[in-house]
Amino acid sequence: MAYVAVGFHGSPLPRTMITNKRVPGARRATLRCTMAQPAARSKALDPNNTGLGPVDFNLNEYMAAKARRVNEALDHAVPLRHPAKIHESMRYSLLAGGKRVRPVLALASCDLVGGDEAAAMPVACAAEMIHTMSLIHDDLPCMDDDDLRRGQPTNHRAFGEDTAILAGDALLSLAFEHVAARTTGVAPERVVRALAELGSAVGSDGLVGGQIVDIASEGLAVDLNVLEYIHIHKTARLLEAAAVCGAIVGGGEDGEVERVRRYARCVGLLFQVVDDILDVTKTSEELGKTAGKDLATDKATYPKLMGLDKARDFARTLVVKAEEELSGFDEARAAPLYHLAHYIAHRQN
């Protein structure tokens, strides 16, 4: 069943760019998010203003604890073995740090619907493996040609282009193997749904689709709908899949899974909007990657198309939309996702 995607700014995306088909068990939400919403509903992007959510929740401690467990699981998932060079390359990028936002989304969404963290750890690791693959490939000379990632030389600079490509390929295949082989205590049909969700997120209807439209749009005067297509698919879709997979393996009902999906879609686009803002307001040292690259290459970004102030307003609107999807869930279980949305909005790198 084909459908037309609707952008956050309310206009259908060009049919020539949409060939999406529904994947069983991987339904997508259609969202509308317009700049015409009353400004009074949007909270300021101020790290000291975290809205009306639970005040006794410490996000830093939560993120640190989850990240430690994710890092341990990733370390065990990719041991250093023969052939040594490919596994060194995989581990170099996979264990290089980072915020682990996607794995944390998976674990928090599992907990939101009353699931056990252990059930979601394989999909959490898989989401990070896929994300790392995308970073390795995105940094290649034939793509964005970057030299710095997470404060260290990019994978192809450290190991060569051939090994970097293969390391990304190996991480992608391992992601699906890991979910299939390591997920325990979850009904098989839910594991299959999670695999379908991840596959949809990374393929031509997801990350690859966003990347190819991004490449095709270089040097062209694109509008907000095209920009949103790129980022919903290239960035938001994997964040969405991580959260949705966590809810699926955690035993969430269909309605709960779809609310998690809508929340994550807003958070995923928020991540990119903030990324665009940081690219023009921070230094390379502050970001841990090359700053100002989008501006130097005349790439379409939210600040470029909307202006910096309106891009910040749009980020606020996305936070409000994400909050709305969490209403109705148990407040304590929703606290990590609530505060994670604000963390993404306030992040400085």
The predicted-structure confidence for 122-170, as pLDDT tens digits, reads as follows: 999 999 999 999 999 999 999 888 999 988 999 999 999 999 999 999 9
Classify residue 118 as exposed, middle or buried by CB count within 10 Å of its CB (0-12, 13-18, 19+): middle
Does the structure show a pLDDT above 80 at 74?
yes
Is the separation of the CB atoms in 194 and 243 below 8 Å? no
pLDDT of residue 297: 59
Residue 348 has pLDDT above 80, yes or no: no
Residue 36: pLDDT over 60: no
264: Cα separation from own chain's centroid: 8
The pLDDT of residue 208 is: 95
Measured CA to CA, the distance from residue 349 to residue 346 in angstroms comes to 9
- The confidence score (pLDDT) of residue 334 equals 97
DSSP-based three-state secondary structure for 153: strand
Residue 116 has pLDDT above 50, yes or no: yes
- Mean pLDDT, range 299-315, rounded to an integer: 90
* pLDDT tops 60 at residue 1: no
Closest CA to 190 of 243, 137, 245: 245
* Per-residue pLDDT band at 296 (split at 50, 70, 90): low
pLDDT band for position 309 (cuts 50, 70, 90): very high
DSSP 26: -
Element (H, E) at 81: none
Burial of 261 (0-12, 13-18, 19+ CB in 10 A): buried
56-74: average pLDDT: 94
DSSP state of 232: I
Q: Closest by alpha carbon to 120, among 65, 48, 186, 165?
A: 186
pLDDT average, residue stretch 70-88? 97
Phi, psi of 148 (to 5 degrees): -135, 135
Q: Among the residues of the chain, which ranges form H helices?
A: 59-77, 84-94, 101-112, 117-138, 155-159, 161-182, 188-202, 207-216, 224-231, 237-249, 254-281, 284-287, 293-296, 302-306, 308-326, 331-346
CA atoms 32, 37, 43, 45: torsion sign: positive
Task: List phi, psi (to 5°) of 128.
Answer: -70, -35
At residue 2, the 3 state secondary structure works out as strand
Whether residue 111 is predicted with pLDDT greater than 70 in this model: the reply is yes
Q: Which fold has domain 59-346?
A: Farnesyl Diphosphate Synthase (1.10.600)
Helix axes 117-138, 161-182, angle to 10 degrees: 160
| Model confidence at 197: pLDDT above 60 | yes
Q: Is the pLDDT of residue 119 over 60?
A: yes
Cα separation of 251 and 248, whole Å? Answer: 5
295 falls in which pLDDT band (50, 70, 90)? low
Peptide bond before residue 303 is cis, with ω within 30 degrees of 0: no
Q: What is the pLDDT of residues 200-245, one digit of tens each?
A: 999 999 999 999 998 888 888 889 999 999 999 998 999 999 999 9
Residue type at 125 in one-letter notation: C
> Residue 55 and residue 105: Cα distance in Å, rounded?
20
What integer pLDDT is reported at residue 227 of this predicted model? 92
pLDDT over 70 at 23, yes or no = no
* pLDDT for the residue numbered 41: 33
